[in-house]
Amino acid sequence: GENVEQHPSTLSVQEGDSAVIKCTYSDSASNYFPWYKQELGKRPQLIIDIRSNMDKRQGQRVTVLLNKTVKHLSLQIAATQPGDSAVYFCAENIGAGGTSYGKLTFGQGTILTVHP
Amino acid sequence: DAGVTQSPTHLIKTRGQQVTLRCSPKSGHDTVSWYQQALGQGPQFIFQYYEEEERQRGNFPDRFSGHQFPNYSSELNVNALLLGDSALYLCASSPDRGLRDTQYFGPGTRLTVL
């Protein structure tokens, strides 16, 4: 079935340290995996995404890794700042094809706190 | 260029009432998806509209219905409201060309059912 497991549920780091969040997805047909950052009371904001034809993608201070063999993906945030404090969600896109562009199934979220 | 917009921001209803939420997609986007986000959880997919038709639906009852207009804006209707319908309702839009599975979210409508 459709399921995305995300861990840890909470993560506390010191400013300047790295933070790593991991997800396991279930649908081997999924080919698109976005990560969203959601600050309290705000919209989910796309921070980086990866497609199944890649196993690594880097942005500004963020890196996402994808292991399709074991259906794992991870997000690393380097040199964390207090402004990185938020809830982070991984997601997989399921059901794209035909006349649909697919739906996102989200993990449960990770509450990241960066202490100054 | 405005991003995805939603109205109203907040809404309070009582059990049994009906509600309509509205969404305007980002310019250059033609696909709209709706999600329900309960407190402390990830968003859950309700349905997706493209070319004014429902293209895919999540595990939500028929009390949840929607519509897409020729200008690509969309409405979400919920009938016979239950206390459990209290949540943040998010709309997301996708571009009409290129990476069409990429979804950008609006600020949401906070619905409280009393």
Query: How distant is the Cα of A59 from the closest Cα of chain B, in angstroms?
Result: 16
CA atoms of B9 and B80, how far apart (whole Å) = 21
Give the gap in angstroms from C-alpha A77 to the nearest C-alpha of chain B: 20
CB-based contact, A96 to chain B, within 8 Å = yes
Cβ contact, residue pair B56, A107, below 8 Å:
no
CA–CA separation, B90 vs A11, rounded Å?
25
Residue in A93, A103, A107 closest to B42 by CB: A107
Residue B55 Cα, gap to closest chain A Cα (Å) = 5
Please give the C-alpha separations between residue B63 and each of A38, A102, B14, B18, B89, in angstroms, as whole numbers: 28, 22, 15, 9, 15
* pLDDT of A1 higher than 60: no
- Chain A residues whose beta carbon lies within 8 Å of the beta carbon of residue B58: 103
Which whole number is the average pLDDT over B54-68? 95
Structure confidence at residue A98 as a pLDDT band (50, 70, 90):
low
Give pLDDT tens digits for A41-97. 899 999 999 999 999 999 999 999 999 999 999 999 999 999 999 999 999 997 666
Q: What is the pLDDT of residue A30?
A: 87
Mean pLDDT along residues B26-41: 94
Task: Output the pLDDT for position A99.
Answer: 64
CB contact under 8 A, B101 and A101: yes
Residue B10 CB neighbour total at 10 angstroms: 9
Q: Tell me if the bond preceding A8 is cis, omega within 30° of 0.
A: yes
